[in-house]
Structure 1
Amino acid sequence: MRARLFTHILFILYCVEAGALFVLAPWSGGWERAVVQLPWLPVRDLLLNTMFRSAVTGFGFLHLVWAAHDLDLLFSRRKEPTTQPEAD
């Protein structure tokens, strides 16, 4: 049980971290500096395209929603009381 809880928490942390990275990175100055150094012009143009950056940001929001869903699922499981049926 503890291993399952631990891996669930690690997955939630991964989703939050990856989501934040995918949401923020395409719009940072570091993204542009790294992409401008690419030698392939078609790839450079694709990575600097606003639509591509928006798609990466959407992928990040998907990770954040997934993390929120799993966190809600984790807390709702912990709140459920374990009631035993009464014997008549």
Structure 2
Amino acid sequence: MRADAPFRLLFILYCVEVGVLLLLLPWGSNWERVAFQLPGPGCRALALSPWSRGALSGFGVVHLVWGVHELTGWFQRRSGAARPAR
């Protein structure tokens, strides 16, 4: 096992976790509760705007795609390292 393998695995877990949170959190009921505690009506309107929620969800999708890309690369490197040299 190479020294960077644990860090790659942690990065993959980070991408998946943050991706799921950013994808789902803006659309939950807790989001609205927190938005009403923000100072000023402008901040509240921005936090509750579908455009802002969609942007955060899109950023979550980017994290998920990045995590899946890293995961497939990790499996390819591991399967390539397991093959005997000819």
Q: TM-score, normalised by structure 1?
A: 0.89
Runs of 4+ in structure 1 off by over 3 angstroms are none
Q: Does residue 26 of the first structure (1) align with residue 26 of the second (2)? A: yes
Q: Which residue of 2 aligns with 1:83?
A: 85
Give the number of equivalent residue pairs.
Answer: 84
Larger radius of gyration: 1
Identical aligned residues as a percent: 46
Q: Quote how far apart the aligned CAs of 1:3 are.
A: 2.9
Q: Quote how far apart the aligned CAs of 1:72 are.
A: 0.1
The one-letter amino acid paired with 1:44 is R
Q: Which residue of 2 aligns with 1:71?
A: 71
The one-letter amino acid paired with 1:29 is S
The one-letter amino acid paired with 1:49 is S
Q: Does residue 17 of the first structure (1) align with residue 53 of the second (2)? A: no
Q: Which residue of 1 aligns with 2:51?
A: 51
The one-letter amino acid paired with 1:3 is A
Q: Quote how far apart the aligned CAs of 1:34 are.
A: 0.4
2:51, 2:25 → 1: CA distance?
A: 14
1:38, 1:78 → 2: CA distance?
A: 47
Provide structure 1 residue ranges, at least 5 long, that are not aligned to the other structure: none
Q: Quote how far apart the aligned CAs of 1:65 are.
A: 0.3
